[in-house]
Chain A
C-alpha cells in the first residue's frame, strides 16, 4: 500500500521549454505532497510543499515562478519546470507522508535540459 506513481521517469527537453512531472497517489489520498531535487552526489533538497486546493509553499531560494506546483486533487500533484535551462537538469522526486507509517516516495524523474 501507500504507493506514489511518478511520471515520467526520465525526460530530455530543449532549453526554454517547459516540462511537467506528475505524482499520483494510487491507494491513498495525499493532501500534501513534498517535492525534492537531487543533484549528482548530493542530498535530496526540499523544494516545495504542495497542498491540495491551496497554494504551494516554497523553500527559501526556490523560484516559485519557475517551478509551478499544482495540487488540484487529493491524488495528483504536478511540478512544472518552466523555461528550463541546463542548470535545472536534476533528479526530481515527490513524497507524501502517511500517518503512523512514514513517508512514501515516487520513483523520481531524471530531467536533462539540452
Chain B
C-alpha cells in the first residue's frame, strides 16, 4: 500500500528566507499530490496540489515540484512570513482514492 515519507519534521527559517519540504511516496500509480497547512485544532487547508501530468505548479509564493520517476514531490515557500508558521502535510492517494498523509513538518518562521 501507499507509504508517504516527509522530511524534515521541523524547519526553522528567518523571515524572508525560503523553506523546502520534501515527500516521497511508494505507489507509482498515485496521480494526485496535495499539500496542506494545518493550524492547531483545525482541518487541513489545501494550499497547493499537483497532478501527475505536470512537473511543477506555482501559486504566488508557493510552488510544488513533482518527480514521478523518483517518486518524490516538494513544497517550496519563498519569502516566508511569520504567518506561514504552521504544520504542513503532504499526501498521496493509495490508489484509487484513499488519501495517505505524510508525517508532517512543523515550520517556524522567525521575524
Chain B, interface size category, equals: 10 to 19
> Judging by beta carbons under 8 Å apart, are A34 and B102 in contact?
no
> Judging by beta carbons under 8 Å apart, are B42 and A42 in contact?
no
> Judging by beta carbons under 8 Å apart, are B99 and A95 in contact?
yes
- Closest Cβ of chain A to B30, distance in Å, is 13
Knowing A32-B97, A34-B98, the reply to whether A103 touches B34 (Cβ < 8 A) is yes
Closest 4 pairs (CB-CB, A-B): A105-B43, A44-B101, A43-B101, A43-B104
Count, chain A residues at interface, CB 8 A: 20
User: Which of B99, B102, B103, B104 is within 8 Å of A103, CB to CB?
Assistant: B99
- Closest Cβ of chain B to A4, distance in Å, is 9
**A107, B89: Cα distance in complex, Å:** 17
User: Which of B32, B41, B99, B104 is within 8 Å of A91, CB to CB?
Assistant: B41
> What number of A-B contacts does a CB cutoff of 8 Å give?
42
Cβ of B44 within 8 Å of any chain A Cβ, yes or no, is: yes
User: Which of A42, A46, A93, A97 is within 8 Å of B43, CB to CB?
Assistant: A93
Knowing A43-B89, A49-B98, the reply to whether A102 touches B104 (Cβ < 8 A) is no
- Closest Cβ of chain B to A75, distance in Å, is 18
- Closest Cβ of chain B to A37, distance in Å, is 11
> Judging by beta carbons under 8 Å apart, are B43 and A106 in contact?
yes
Cβ of B13 within 8 Å of any chain A Cβ, yes or no, is: no
> Judging by beta carbons under 8 Å apart, are B99 and A34 in contact?
yes
- Closest Cβ of chain A to B81, distance in Å, is 23
Quick one: which of A44, A105, A107 has the most chain B CB within 10 A? A44
Task: Point out the residues of chain B lying under 8 angstroms from A45, CB to CB.
Answer: 101
> Judging by beta carbons under 8 Å apart, are A110 and B41 in contact?
yes
**A107, B39: Cα distance in complex, Å:** 12
